[in-house]
Chain A
Amino acid sequence: MPHVILLLAALQVSAPEQQAKHLPPSPIDRIEVTPANPTVEAQDSLLLRARALDARGNPVEGARLRFVPAGGRFEGLVQENGLVRSGATGTLPVTVVALVPGTAPVTRTLDVAMVPAPPARIEIDGAPERLVAGQRAHAAARSWSRHGDPRSDRFAWRSSAPNVVRVTDDGVMTALAPGRATITASAGAATETVTVEVIPNSIASMELRPATASALTGDVIRFGIDVRDEAGQPVRGLTPTWSFTPGHGMIEADGAFVGYEAGSYTIVANLGDRSATATVRLAPRDVRRPAEVVGRLPRTRFTTEEVWLHPNGRNLYLGTGRGGDVLYAVDVSDPSNPVVTDSLVANTRRVNDVMTTPDGRFLVHTREGAADRRNGIVIASLEDPAHPRVIAEFTQDVTAGVHSAFVYRQERFGTHVYLTNNGTATMHVVDINDPYHPREVGRWRAPSVFGGGSLHDIDVQDGLAYLSNWNEGLIILDVGNGVKGGSPSNPQLVSQYRYDLNDLYRQVEATGGPGFIRGTHTAWRHRDYVFIADEVFPASPVQGARDAAAGRAYGRLQVIDVSDLEEPRSVAWYEPEYGGVHNVWVAGDTLYLGAYNAGFRTFDISGELRGDLRAQQREMVHVNIADMDAHEAGRNTALTWGVVARDGLAYVNDINSGLWIVRMLPRTPPPMHP
């Protein structure tokens, strides 16, 4: 067939392959942007201006200029006229496009620094109310903007009576003579003062209580001082300067010490020229233990999403993602042999969240990616928990999808679903007292959230809703507790805990560039703590890599002390060396964590919590939740979602590989040596 070959050769020549024509060069040589180093306060706006200039520096006639976002979609908005609205602190990349129609566009990308608003509130930590003459104490100040964004100000310190108390530029106070002085820390227009009384140094004796202590790494030991004058009378109200040696750990101004490593520590308290010591002997916490995989239910058709155990402990429900329209009902009465008993198939491509009513009679699951775009939630009857039966759905105004839903019953108000609206970052409250006829009764949206915000998860305990509100941090609402007069239909803000995500994840920006994914992702109230976990992914993958090599999760779990509900404060944290954090479950003194690439982990959270939980050896179990019986998207790679714990078993779901039932085994005693 030589003629065919010739024709094919001719075809190659005459094939209609189109070469992109080059646009004529633009007469624009450069784009001038003012301000040159744009900076905008969080929650504020800035108008950028630009000029298109030719090679001689003259404005180009007819050039069209517009501003477009180049990342940071959750953090800020960019309008085409150059108006930048900042929703959070961070870096907002903006591209300026200059175009003369018919010629090639000219672009310039710049970073807008979104910084906290001026300092509006200062807190002074570690400033004693009373000093003895000769005592030194370091007062530390922290500041926040009026929006609650943490700042890193350099403070100006001043003493109202320098002859009584001298204070340095770094806040180090020296008590010089008896009297009173007001110490002021100021930054911008914000000031905060503390009054310090200096008493004569009549200390005859000083002891630390306890003088000796034996404890475990991670235990918080609270030290106090017993100071007496020559008459043996106690001298009250004094706060020493604390230090310890050697080893790793922390001691705070209130005398709370936590050591990270086993060994002997000397705790030192100083009051002027007096000091006292105590000895602490820390033994290893020794909570590390083996685990066994009791049962396994691989899921390979879809990725696996939320896991939920029925109150009866025998039936379990598994969501699906990545095209999943199935909610699996699984019989786990024999944990070594979990069996799918039934499934609900819904018009969705993701069942991200599932939860039962407290009485176990009904189940709610979320929908994202429905073929008819209606999404919302589905309610099913659990008359037979092994065979859920759909009885209703709720879709009103949640067409963008529902990511999370929390079912909560209050004696006074009945049962409601608190769900997240993917499109508007709004919490919708749906009354399901008649589960066959769900109806919305309330909504709440963080006032500072703008178009790009996100509400990721909701936890409700004791009439308080804990919203994981991404850049807005943790938000606590009264939805029936009464502390602020709230109810399900009228949620009331109690408090908000925001933190500096940019500072926390500086390494992620350094690795993958600005505009990375990060925010408060989940929250769990337990005792006086709320455990919050961040979801963090880099903005771009490792260049040239694919599959598991291309990216990874990051993230930190923080322990927020809410003993004062209106003043939440972070007291402890956990961050795996690799892999991120995701969903939390707490039962008794054990915290269970699905930690994305870091697999499944559990922690001993007994007692008071302070400092770095990993460093102090509170981690009990780590199982790399990965095998080859997995969805094609991630074989042999952990992407662990979360866990439900009950009766000594952890029901762990992994996005890639399905259900794992894990038991923590008793700690293996150290070998006996003759």
Chain B
Amino acid sequence: MKLQASGVRRRASVRGAAAFVALFSFSACAGAGAGAGAGAEPGPPARDYLVFVASEATDQVALVRFGPGGARVERRYEVGIHPTDPDGPHGVAVAPDGRHYYVTTGHGVPYGYIWKYTTDGAQPVGRAELGMFPASLDVSPDGHYAYVVNFNLFGAMVPSSVSVVSTDEMVEVARLTTCTMPHGSRLDASGAHHYSACMMEDFVVDIDTRTFEIARHFRVMPRAERGYSGAPAAMHHHQPPGEPTTTRCSPTWVTPTPDGARLFVACNAHDDIVEIDVASWRMLRRIPAGEGVYNLDITHDGETLIATNKRGRSVSLFDVASGRELARIATQRPVVHGVTVSDDDRYAFISVEGVGSEPGTVEVIDLAARRRVASVDVGQMAGGIDFWRSEEGVR
């Protein structure tokens, strides 16, 4: 396999993304027939796209290749420490330089880990113990830190935390108590802010990564939207009488726009998406979404927002400018989980958990044609998913 013209995951680089898309479009037009307009018939991909996806029930991470030859599992890698009990890999993130990927484990045992593997061969490089049930994670643009939410679903609803891990040393350098069941976190493109959702408290928390301190938080509860400074825990002690205390949004994901100016927050319980202006720390709008909207990702050009609908068994594409839902694409199996966008903004890769012994699935959506163009079975309970790179297609 030749590895020419390799583009890697580049959540942080807007300028680089634009250059890459332009070149790729030319290349695609020259030989592959891609770049179709909205609703157009999808053409076959000219390149191969590689994504990692974690299967929580089978202790595996699969490397999925999608290209001219369709989608297939290139290789499955075992994850974890315990040979007979489940380790439960949940979150996956590829380092910006593409040389390593990180996996969180910990569903089923008291404490979890973050693991570091080489992308080429999946050799374990290191691991660090974190808190209860580490879940989604993201890596800073400079590659030096991974941020992991400790979801903690051990029954008691108690505040949990976000772990900051030095990826060079593979050691947790900070643990910030944020809220109950933190989930769905992302760094902005500059790496200066880390945002996480508080599933059981209707908050979004903003961590200042320069100081490793909670800078502010935002209440995303319908009809009670409001920004606050400081940590949620501090607010609880000074909660004004009469303010609602129940959870009506249950935010499960937050993702910033590529320019970092706005946030989109998935309200899983309220079936809508909250858009927040980062500078003013005010809500801009609520966008109606699919049933059980769960995870989000946004194209590098900032134009399309992709949302998985966990209960709705579908994926929604939104026009960011208008907030209009462009398409709702049914998935083949239930419990839709994660989403990651290819480096050229052409495809969205969706992880679907399935129920029970149903295989997990990675479904590939052509964002131009707004259709599913491929799918491949992976291990059960497919959750965390991240794009690695594209390369010259193998037919």
Residues of A within 8 A of B (CB): 1, 3-4, 7-8, 10-12, 14-21, 23, 64, 66, 68-71, 73-74, 80, 95, 97, 99, 101-102, 104-105, 107, 301-302, 320-326, 345-350, 368-369, 371, 373, 397-401, 403, 422-424, 451-454, 517, 535, 537, 539, 546, 551, 553, 596, 633, 639, 655
Contacts and interface: CB of A to CB of B under 8 A. Distances in A.
A102 B154 contact: no
Interface string B70-95: 00000000100111111010000001
Given A20-B96, A21-B142, A399-B154, A14 B23 contact: yes
Interface SS, A side: loop
B129 interface: yes
A207 B189 CA distance: 90
B322 interface: no
B110 interface: yes
20 contacts: A8-B27, A8-B392, A12-B4, A18-B10, A21-B143, A66-B175, A97-B172, A99-B173, A105-B166, A105-B168, A105-B171, A322-B59, A323-B57, A323-B357, A371-B355, A399-B154, A400-B154, A424-B155, A517-B81, A535-B84
Contact of A16 (B20, B84, B379): B20
B155 A15 contact: no
Contacts of A14: 19-20, 23
A326 B86 contact: no
Given A20-B95, A73-B111, A97-B166, A399 B7 contact: no
B353 interface: yes
A369 B355 contact: no
B88 A369 contact: yes
A674 B335 CA distance: 75
Interface SS, B side: loop
B379 to A, nearest CB: 7
A369 B86 contact: yes
A368 B4 CA distance: 44
Contacts, number: 204
A537 B109 CA distance: 15
Contacts of B19: 14, 16
A76 to B, nearest CB: 11
A325 B357 contact: yes
A609 B357 CA distance: 45
* Residue picked from B4, B19, B110, B381, most chain A C-beta under 10 Å: B110
B31 interface: yes
A430 to B, nearest CB: 16
B319 interface: no
Contacts of B335: 371
Contact of B143 (A20, A104, A454, A517): A20
B30 interface: yes
Contacts of A7: 23, 26-27, 30
Contacts of A321: 86
A240 B228 CA distance: 82
A97 B171 contact: yes
B210 interface: yes
A371 B84 CA distance: 20
Nearest to B8: A17
Interface of B: 4-8, 10, 12-13, 16-17, 19-20, 23-24, 26-27, 30-31, 55-59, 78, 81-86, 88, 95-98, 107-111, 128-129, 141-144, 153-155, 166, 168-169, 171-175, 210-212, 335, 343, 353, 355-357, 379-381, 392
A102 B212 CA distance: 10
Given A15-B6, A70-B129, A350-B57, 11 more contacts: A11-B5, A16-B10, A18-B96, A20-B142, A320-B357, A323-B57, A323-B379, A345-B357, A369-B381, A371-B355, A422-B110
A10 B22 CA distance: 12
B171 A107 contact: yes
A424 B129 contact: no
A596 B97 CA distance: 41
A69 B317 CA distance: 42
A655 B27 contact: no
B172 A369 contact: no
Closest A-B pairs by Cβ, 3 of them = A16-B16, A325-B356, A20-B143
B97 A20 contact: yes
A452 B110 contact: yes
Contacts of B84: 535, 596, 639, 655
A625 B153 CA distance: 37
Contact of B129 (A3, A68, A423): A68
Contacts of A397: 155
B98 A17 contact: yes
Nearest to A326: B357
Nearest to B175: A80
B110 A401 contact: no
Contacts of B24: 11
Contact of B155 (A8, A369, A400, A403): A400
A301 to B, nearest CB: 7
Nearest to B172: A68
A515 B386 CA distance: 31
A347 B356 contact: yes
B173 A97 contact: yes
Nearest to A397: B155
Contacts of B379: 323
A18 B13 contact: yes
B81 A8 contact: no
Contacts of A323: 55, 57-58, 357, 379-381
B8 A18 contact: yes
Nearest to B355: A371
A69 B357 CA distance: 35
Contact of B171 (A68, A423, A517): A68
A71 to B, nearest CB: 7
A12 B27 CA distance: 13
A5 to B, nearest CB: 9
A125 B96 CA distance: 65
A373 B152 CA distance: 11
Contacts of A451: 110
A321 B95 CA distance: 31
B97 A349 contact: no
A598 B166 CA distance: 40
B109 A422 contact: yes
B194 to A, nearest CB: 14
Nearest to B123: A544
Given A4-B31, A16-B16, A639-B84, A10 B356 contact: no
A369 B107 contact: yes
A349 B154 contact: no
Nearest to A582: B84
A369 B89 CA distance: 12
A302 B380 CA distance: 11
Contacts of A371: 335, 353, 355-356, 381
B277 to A, nearest CB: 27
* Residue picked from B13, B24, B84, most chain A C-beta under 10 Å: B84
Nearest to A547: B78
A129 B169 CA distance: 61
Contacts of B5: 8, 11-12, 15
A226 to B, nearest CB: 54
B86 A349 contact: yes
A537 B379 CA distance: 25
Contacts of A8: 4-5, 27, 392
A4 B111 contact: no
B152 to A, nearest CB: 9
Nearest to A68: B172
B107 A17 contact: no
B96 A95 contact: no
B7 A17 contact: yes
Nearest to B379: A323
Contacts of A71: 129
